[in-house]
Amino acid sequence: MLPPKRSTRYCLTYIFYLLVLNSSDCHPNPGPRTPKYPCGDCGKAVKWSKTVKSVACTQCETWFHKDCLGMSTAVYLPLENTDLSWYCCNCGIPNFNSSLFSEFDTSGSNLTSSTPNSSSQSSSSFFGDPILSSSPKQPVQKNHLNKKARVLTINFQSMRSKREAFWSMLENSDPDIILASETWLNPSIHEREVLPDKYVFAARRERPNGSHGGVAIITKASFDASEIALDTSTEMVAASIPTTSSSKPVIVCSVFRPPSSDEEYTKALCDTLHDIHEKHRDHIIWIGGDTDLSDINWACDSIESHSYLSSVNQAFIDTFTDLGCQQVIDFPTRGENILDIFATNRPSLVNKATALPGLGDHDIVLLDTNIIPQQRRPIRRLIYIWSKADTQAIAKDLSDLPARLNHLVDIKSTVDSLWSLFKTTCTKSINSHVPSKYTSTRFNQPWCDSNIRRLSRRKKRAFRKAKQTKRKKDWENYRTSQNNVKNACKTSYNRYVNNIISEEGYNNKKLYSFIKSKKCDSTGVSPLRDGENLHSNPKDKAEILNRQFSSVFTQEKQDDLPQIGSTTYPAASNITVTEKGVLKLLNNLNPNKASGPDQISSRFLRTMSNSVAPILTIIFQASSDQGKVPDDWKSANVTPLFKKGDRARASNYRPVSLTSVCCKTLEHIVHRHVITHLEEHNILTDQQHGFRKRRSCESQLITTIHDLASGLNQR
């Protein structure tokens, strides 16, 4: 062997090779790891799974996949409760009990259970307690609602231009609360343009006369954070965040002191902090942001240089002393200076502060705390998998409905009875013949691939090395890695957007959803104010919104209608609903539209249009003849949409109602009948452009401009 080169790296490598050669039990190729619980037939690992079922032989203690034994589900399921037997492929001895992974209870149940008629011993005699037995361990599910808060302080220097790199950093660090400074935003920039779906602005403030500066508090969308109104002209915002670890919410403040600010600005900023402390004396207070005070030595609260006025530096020291707050960041955040701060009156609740590579010239600070924020549980939605639906079975269930409905019509049954029969039959058939699953929203970024994660890890290593060695070469390597990550994020994001835009199809749902999402702020309802109290409970918010919407609703008196008098126009004929017309309307339904309170979806009506059309024809005709609609059609799912202003005021929301799809179909039939009658007899004036086919605001403007131009030409 050649002598090693004279460097630490090659010396260590040389020593390592010597140790390996002198290790007699070192296998050159140990091969793949042997499964801890192998299947007795295929040899693959037996794991906890809801889809891959397994059984265990009580004699030889060997596990088998159900499919490896060729055991059908009809045979597998009764094994737990009957005296059916199966023969082990390994020992050939019959088994009279089974181990079903989906039925395990690791807290105290046996691994297998003997059937009532079996004389065999309990499975505990073979395996003992399940926790200590040879059974595969059940995966532990983490409760993300009890996760301790991670706080991030960041100086952006343009949040919009660093969007992709910021989103990639969020994927890796997963903070709960972000205290941002120098966002460089303006009111025209929407929330979704700069934040991923997982995060929302709890509070934000921009400069009224420029695009620089700006502060914000960003939280996860599952938090019920509410902004605290501040009477100040400084760049500071505050929010209240409820917690489960304390009876009172945490007060979070984000501040920014521009380097060019004067003593008066500093005094106003400190006075605002005093006001917040006076109103929330018993609360935990977090103050973070960029103060740009390199003169202060926060370890001993002393002024060591004079880059700024001593009165400015002393004002912050005195303010934190009066508030009982301690600044916990003890490492430089820009060069050799501590410019970014995080002060709290409960420093014992901050476990650790870590420096992360920044997006600008400031380092990012990530703080781990012992505070558990209060979070809303994610909404689970029931999704029907129509691609695997048994449409023939559904059609069979609906085949006898027309005859039954005609019988009800003959005996003068109400339209509610007809609708109830149709709705019950459809719901039962859908649940029986259409597979379904529960799903929740995922917030991961699809464009953030493994290459970006690899480059991010490389950047983090380069950052740590540069901070440790402080060598110029290492800092250059870090800046190169930083630019590589930024360029990779932009390239990957642009490629993702281009793929959405270039996707074939006229009805590109992804494209329109993407465009719509970038032109709006967060959805949902923030905590609402009722008097002096702020309510975050969903039931309380629903009551507040209900009172607001009811107060602005005008209910006309129908007992004092004006007399129209005689008319020369003929009366409209009765509505005749045809099966062909209903079938055409059903086939034109958008399957992606949401269903109403009756849960009869557009997808179902369009997929089963041939079977549903004759049924709805009978119901629609009965509704028209009786002059009534089913009670279900009078209900609606009301969604409050935020307009503008304070999110805590119920008056800043407007209601949008989602009614039954079948009701909308009948509305279309009635509308078409009325409009046809009005147009056939020229009842509408020619100046009526609204709500008419082939007419709109554009046609009204063209007519008006034509009349004005004609008048000018005749002068």
The pLDDT tens digits for 343-354 are: 999 999 999 999
* pLDDT at position 370 over 80: yes
Structural domains for the chain: 31-141 (3.30.40.10), 144-369 (3.60.10.10), 382-439+540-547+571-680 (no CATH), 450-516 (no CATH)
Tell me the average pLDDT across 489-510.
76
The pLDDT tens digits for 169-178 are: 998 889 999 9
Q: pTM of the full predicted structure?
A: 0.68
Distance separating alpha carbons of residues 7 and 262, to the nearest angstrom: 55
Distance separating alpha carbons of residues 203 and 347, to the nearest angstrom: 24
pLDDT at 686: 81
SS3 state at 509: helix
Distances (CA, A) of 577 to 167, 581, 670, 673: 54, 7, 9, 10
Contacts of 52 (CB under 8 A, 6+ apart): 65, 66, 67
The pLDDT tens digits for 54-102 are: 877 766 777 888 777 777 766 677 665 545 566 676 676 666 544 444 3
Q: pLDDT-derived band of residue 584, with 50, 70 and 90 as boundaries?
A: very high
Average pLDDT, the chain: 82
pLDDT at 539: 85
* pLDDT at position 211 over 90: no
* pLDDT at position 220 over 70: yes
* pLDDT at position 614 over 90: yes
* pLDDT at position 212 over 80: yes
SS3 state at 392: helix
pLDDT at 123: 37
Range with the lowest mean pLDDT among 82-96, 129-143, 153-167, 338-352? 129-143
Q: For the residues of 582-599, what is the DSSP string, one character each?
A: HHHHHHTS-TTSPP-TT-
pLDDT at 36: 73
Sheet containing strand 250-256, strands side by side: 226-228, 236-241, 250-256, 285-290, 340-344, 326-327
Distance separating alpha carbons of residues 470 and 483, to the nearest angstrom: 19
pLDDT at 589: 93
Tell me the average pLDDT across 486-495.
89
Helix/strand/coil (H/E/C) assignment for every residue in 261-330: CCHHHHHHHHHHHHHHHHHCCCCCEEEEEECCCCCEECCCCEECCCCCCHHHHHHHHHHHHHHCCEECCC
Residue of higher predicted confidence among 83 and 503: 503
What token pair was written down for 551? 């107060």
Percent of the chain with pLDDT over 70: 83
The DSSP call for residue 16 is H
pLDDT at 31: 58
SS3 state at 182: coil
pLDDT at 151: 95
Q: pLDDT-derived band of residue 253, with 50, 70 and 90 as boundaries?
A: very high
Looking from the CA of 398 toward its CB, the CA atoms found within 13 Å total 24
* pLDDT at position 122 over 50: no
Q: pLDDT-derived band of residue 565, with 50, 70 and 90 as boundaries?
A: confident
pLDDT at 236: 95
Mutual orientation of helices 609-626 and 661-680 as an angle, nearest 10°? Answer: 60
Decide: 236 and 205 in contact? Cβ < 8 Å: yes
What token pair was written down for 54? 């397994």
The pLDDT tens digits for 427-459 are: 999 999 999 888 766 667 788 888 888 999 999
Range with the lowest mean pLDDT among 129-133, 248-252, 346-350, 355-359? 129-133
